[in-house]
Structure 1
Amino acid sequence: MAEAPKRGKTEAPPLPPVRPLYLATLLGSAAAALALFYATLGVLGATGNLPPPAFSNSLCVDEKLAFHRNNAAEQPDLLVIGSSVAWRHFDGAQLVQDVPQVKPLNGAFCGLAANQSVYAANWFLDRTPSIRDVMMITSPQDFENCTTNRTAIFDHKDATDYVSAKASPWAYYMRYFDPFSLARNASSIAAQRSGADFVDPLVFDRYGSGPLDTSRNRETLLYGMVKSLDQECFDAVQALAHRLRAEGRRLLVATTPLHPDWKADDAAAPLLAEFNSRIRAALAEDPAARFWDGDAAQVVESGAFFDAIHLRWSAAATYTQALGTAFYSDHPTKQLHAAGP
């Protein structure tokens, strides 16, 4: 019998050489696309419609980073942290009037859960050794979803390079590029920066607060009842208290006023009692930490509210006066003006 022929490996045909014209076309197309992208950014900048780089893909967070980049605080000793209630309700000018030796910096960002606010606090603390007190202004809504929310709201190094080292912003537009987000933010940023968008303005005072400077209200309370409190949120606050105690700094936690109609829900009273109890438990190991129930203090009237949890700027001064009384009443230069808690 004849021997069967052996099967060998079939050699692949050689690849055709890359033609210089193809390579030039490919590189030219990439360069043209990049040039068009940055030209678009230039046009948006020239017309006042350029959003900040999308470090977090949350416009109000990214715009706040841009504010801190362009408005470096000089040796602040009080850092305010939290979500939008801390950003909107802290009137730094009022506190300085009442407690002249305090140098505040509002490091709050909108839309954060408590663990994310602690992440932001640690970012500020890592860069600002002059801070002695950290004041967290918060609401039960901030303690609902820490387990499901990513803690790091932005990259620590990129944000530091952008804000503190003044790295060029243009590379970050490419690194964090999202065409849909860019288009959406570009369509709204001008109205928000001017304050024409009264619901979601991106206007800052000198301390980094974001006043809701309007006499109008939302049509609804907007915020429903908190379904449950997440222990991971309280653990994050406790971890911050431990860090501050080890560094010889102090944590001050205050709750924000809540609309009376929101609290009329039968579930509100037990929720608020549990909320306050668990915050006190998170601070129990730090004798320097202090807690003030700014809701129970009833320092503002129902007409002060924009929605269930936000105050108009006209009421923020009253609330901040009460904050000063609660946390700085023993300050040697404290001058009390309004009714305290």
Structure 2
Amino acid sequence: MIRTADVPRDGSHADKEATSAASVPGRVRSRYLLSLFAGLFGALAMFCLTLFALDRTGNLPPPAFSNISCADEKLSFMRDNPIQSPNLLIIGSSVAWRHVDGNVLTEAMPEVRPMNGAFCGLFANQSTYVGHWLLDRQPSIQSVVMIADPQDFAGCWRVPTAVFNREHVDPYVYENASPWGHYMRYFSPKSLARNALTVKAQRAGEIEWDPLVFNRFGDGPLDTPNTRELLYGRPDPLDASCFEALRGMSARLAQEGRELMVVSTPLHPVWKEKYDPDGTFLADFDKRIMETLNATGGTYWNADKDWSTPVTSFVDAVHMRWSVVREFTAALAEQMRDTAIAPVPSPSLETAKVP
């Protein structure tokens, strides 16, 4: 027998069950969102703590503006060690970074205030991109020297010309903007972990073949008594877009009344014998450089042909040891004087010297 009193007449029990069931998805969504945000904030906090710990121990790499560790480290050096009113800019790849000693330049030409704006691992289009950026930021520059090896002009089509985003790098380097936001913008856990394992030793010059050490001009000494394999193999065909990038740099400097010298760095004799035995590749390189500069302006010094150094000067196919770089830089200074590339003293600086 069913008691009438046990059955709700108005359906309120059924309504309560329906309401309760309807609220379950809402509670699930709230818990999901709460868990999601808690996970995100937890991960962010962990990332920030990791950066802080790496910074305190000297193992924090710079923000990955280019994701090329030596280039990003160069930007960090420029931020922390600004060069006041440079009048000579060195650009290029690692051979420009490692084959100039600014101390020798200033000894040979006291009026010169050099700035080494070369970054490792760059092709010619990327080197000129960096050059244009520094010329925009450093109006005191009167002369530019681009030091290159032929392989810098073979393969520009493969790489993006913009090595980094200038809008992000400008405030970082020149306005002392906080770097922390860039670690989030260029978030790359794998790259960060890899670089964090070695950057402290590299900065101390303890990684023989990959030191991240700079002198006050931004030069990068490769100071080792040892020699490694040639390392660099057969070059790719020369790329017309590389020379077009040089043409753009040359045209700009000519228009602005500034000087340009392109220098072909010395190459290991064994590399030349092995990969260019008849000399046609290097001859074509010389020809294209001179054609480019003749069209827009600039001078060319083929140091590989005109400057003699023994085979023991090289640590691989294209890099010379630092003990030889002083001699090479002295020869470069002589070439600059002979071709009137050396910057002239600023009138304001001369006036300031008068008592």
Asked if Structure 1 and Structure 2 have the same fold, meaning a TM-score greater than 0.5 normalized by the shorter chain, the answer is: yes
Is 2:238 the counterpart of 1:234?
Answer: no
Match of 1:325 in 2: 334
Structure ID, larger Rg: 2
Structure 1 runs of 4+ aligned residues shifted over 6 Å read 330-334
Per-residue deviation, residues 189-208 of structure 1 (Å, max 9, x unmatched): 11111111011100001000
1:219-255 deviation line (CA, Å, top 9, x unaligned)? x111112131111101100110011111111111011
For 1:115, the equivalent position in structure 2 comes to 125
| Range moving further from structure 2, 323-332 or 221-230 | 323-332
Return 257-266 or 141-150, whichever deviates more.
257-266
Compared CA separation, residues 36 and 257, structure 1 to 2 (3 A): same
SS of 2:303's equivalent in the other structure is: coil
TM-score normalised to structure 2 length: 0.86
Deviations 1:121-144, CA, capped at 9 Å, x for gaps: 011011110011110000001011
Q: 1:254 corresponds to which residue?
A: 263
Among residues 197, 208, 211, which one is paired with 2:207 in the alignment?
197
> In the alignment, what sits opposite 1:76?
86
Which structure's residues are more often helix, by fraction?
Answer: 2
**1:169 maps onto 2:158 in alignment:** no
Q: Is the 8 A contact 1:99 1:331 kept in 2?
A: no
Output aligned runs, 1:1-341, within 5 Å: 16-17=25-26, 21-218=31-228, 220-265=229-274, 267-268=276-277, 269-287=279-297, 289-329=298-338
CA shift at 1:286, angstroms? 3.1
| Root mean square deviation of aligned Cα | 1.9
Gaps of 5+ in 1: 1-12, 335-341
Shift of 1:111: 0.4
Deviations 1:49-70 (A, max 9, x none): 1100000111001000000000
Cα pair 1:229 1:275 within 8 Å, conserved:
yes
Q: Is the alpha carbon distance of 1:24 and 1:47 closer, same or farther for their aligned partners in structure 2, counting shifts above 3 Å?
A: same
Task: Please report how far the alpha carbon of residue 258 of structure 1 lies from its aligned counterpart in structure 2 after TM superposition.
Answer: 0.4
1:138-170 C-alpha deviation (Å, 9 max, x unpaired): 000101100111101100111111101111000
Q: How far apart are the structure 1 equivalents of 2:248 and 2:43?
A: 46
Which residue in 2 is equivalent to 1:4?
A: none
Identity %: 48
> Contact (CA 8 Å) 2:202, 2:211: kept in 1 or not?
yes
Q: TM-score normalised to the size of structure 1?
A: 0.90
> Residue 299 of structure 1 contacts residue 322 of structure 1 at CA under 8 Å; is this kept in 2?
no
- Gaps of at least 5 residues in structure 2 are 1-21, 344-355
Match of 1:337 in 2: none
CA distance in 1, matches of 2:176, 2:222: 29
Q: For 1:243 and 1:333, locate their aligned partners in 2 and report how far apart those are by CA, in whole Å.
A: 18
C-alpha separation in 1, matches of 2:108 and 2:143: 17
1:264/1:332 CA distance change after superposition, 3 Å: closer
Structure 2 contact 261–341 (Cα < 8 Å) conserved = no
The CA deviation at 1:25 is: 3.3
**1:261 aligned partner, one-letter code:** V
